[in-house]
Amino acid sequence: MQIATNRKAGFTLVEIMIVVAIIGLLAAIAIPNFVKARTTAQKNACISNLRQIDGAIETWALENKKKQGDAVVTAGSPSIADYLKGNALPTCPADGSAYIVTTVGTNPACPNAALGHTL
């Protein structure tokens, strides 16, 4: 003989609220860490770009017999773009701004130097 039970399975409102609270707590912990990691990655990529540009300047100056203080050519041929991947100067990954390149012997600079984007 079977006893008929009319019991429905499911979650109570309290159980669902606890799960939502736990997910909210995890999100509150994870989101600031994600933003910090993104900022750090952009800074490191910018510094890497500055190193590549500096290497291109030094190679260009050596091959074209330029000396300290000579102006750097960034467009045309021969220019430092010839020594960079894609034949173009990269931009800062934080906001897409162009790097500041002036003379041989001077490090290239990023407009976001205040954020630690320095060589």
Contacts of 68 by beta carbon, 8 Å cutoff, 6+ apart: 103, 104, 105
**Mean pLDDT in runs of 10 for the chain (119 residues)?**
69 93 94 92 94 94 92 87 90 92 93 87
Rg (CA), the chain: 28
The pLDDT value given to residue 28 = 93
Whole-model pTM? Answer: 0.76
d(CA 110, CA 84): 17
